[in-house]
Amino acid sequence: MTNDHFSHGSGAYSDFILILLFSVVLLLYLYAAVISSRTYKQWPFSRYTYWLIGLLCIALSVVGPIANLSHINFTAHMIGHLLLGMLAPLFIALAAPVTLILRTLPLQSARRISRILRGMPFRMLSDPLVASILNIGGLCILYTTNLYSNMHKFSILHIIVHLHIFTAGYLFTISMIYIDRPPHRTSYVYRGIIFIFTIAAHGILSKTIYVNPPLGISATQAETGAKLMYYGGDAIDTFIIIIFFYQWLKIRHPRNSLVPET
């Protein structure tokens, strides 16, 4: 298979399709929120903002200058990685899309989705340990094997890798902080322990990239990209930690919590 995905004509067409898709997804969310607000409590304006920012983070990582430069520049790739795998999942989670879907769909359809979410497959995927392994494990495979170089040669592989990065990041985020009401709850202690080990593993992977660059990446680019992954990842994780402990505080001291609900 040739690298036709990155040719000028094919790339322009793909960018147009992706922009159109993002626009449709944005409008569907806005439409669902309006419909939902007619029947239930007014949908919070902050969640509109979170959804928009989340979609923008995804769009910037796959369309436009950062996405184009990421094929030849590891620093740009790492910016895209942080946008797609960490920042976008956080904002999408804060937008509570599952709650909105369940509020908008007809009762029977909403019940079907609820049964799926309560099923064993999703129970396993949304477990903090499994979600962490999918998240960090996938990144380890990407950056310590020839997968990174191959994803820039084969368009299908490139798409699969990006889908995994976002999906694994989203599953990990919703396994740590509960914005949508989770069908399967785990304890704060359990989630906290997994979170600590995940942050440590992310830092170790960053340092590994620093000293052992992926195939085809220069030492200079690897050092810059690894620093960005390390410090940028910590910055985004800080926001998740704040939300995590705020939610824990609300559970333990509900009457003393003066912070407005997210």
Which of these ranges, 3-7, 34-38, 129-133, 230-234, has the smallest mean pLDDT?
A: 3-7
257 found inside a domain: no
Overall average pLDDT of the 137-145 stretch = 95
Stronger pLDDT, 10 or 81, i.e. the higher one = 81
Domain span at residue 82?
4-252
Query: Does 4 have pLDDT greater than 80?
Result: no
Model pLDDT for residues 207-244, shown as the tens digit of each residue: 999 999 998 899 999 999 999 999 999 999 999 999 99
Mean pLDDT of 172-197: 94
| Cα 19 to chain centroid, rounded | 18
Residue 260 has pLDDT above 90, yes or no: no
State the average pLDDT over residues 134-154. Answer: 94
- Does residue 168 belong to any structural domain of this protein? yes
Q: What is the pLDDT of residue 10?
A: 57
Q: Is the full-model pTM beyond 0.75?
A: yes
What's the confidence (pLDDT) of residue 116?
Answer: 92
8: pLDDT confidence band, cut at 50, 70 and 90?
very low
- Asked if 117 contacts 180 with a C-beta cutoff of 8 angstroms, the reply is no
More confident residue, 181 or 211: 211
133 in a structural domain: yes
User: Domain for residue 38, yes or no?
Assistant: yes
Asked whether residue 261 is domain-assigned, the answer is no
In a domain, 96, yes or no: yes
Identify whether the C-beta of residue 244 lies closer than 8 Å to the C-beta of residue 94: no
pLDDT at 16: 85
- Whether 1 shows a pLDDT value over 60: the answer reads no
* Number of domains the chain is built from: 1
Asked whether the beta carbons of 245 and 189 are under 8 A apart, the reply is no
Of 15-19, 124-128, 130-134, the poorest mean pLDDT is in: 15-19
pLDDT at 6 over 80: no
Residue 231 CA, distance from chain mean position: 17
Query: Tens digit of pLDDT for each residue in 18-66?
Result: 899 999 999 999 999 999 998 889 999 999 999 999 999 999 999 989 9
User: What Å distances lie between residue 100 and 4, 31, 95, 151, CA to CA?
Assistant: 38, 10, 9, 34
Q: Give the CA-trace dihedral at 92, 164, 20, 16, to 10 degrees.
A: 140
pLDDT for position 216: 86
pLDDT band at 254 (very low <50, low <70, confident <90, very high): low
Question: What sections of 63-154 are H helices per DSSP?
Answer: 65-69, 74-82, 88-94, 97-104, 107-118, 120-125, 128-144, 147-151
pLDDT of residue 256: 53
Report pLDDT for 5: 45
pLDDT, tens digit, 9 for 90 and up, residues 88-123: 999 999 999 999 999 999 989 999 999 999 999 999
Domain assignment present for 262: no
Assess if residue 246 is contained within a domain: yes
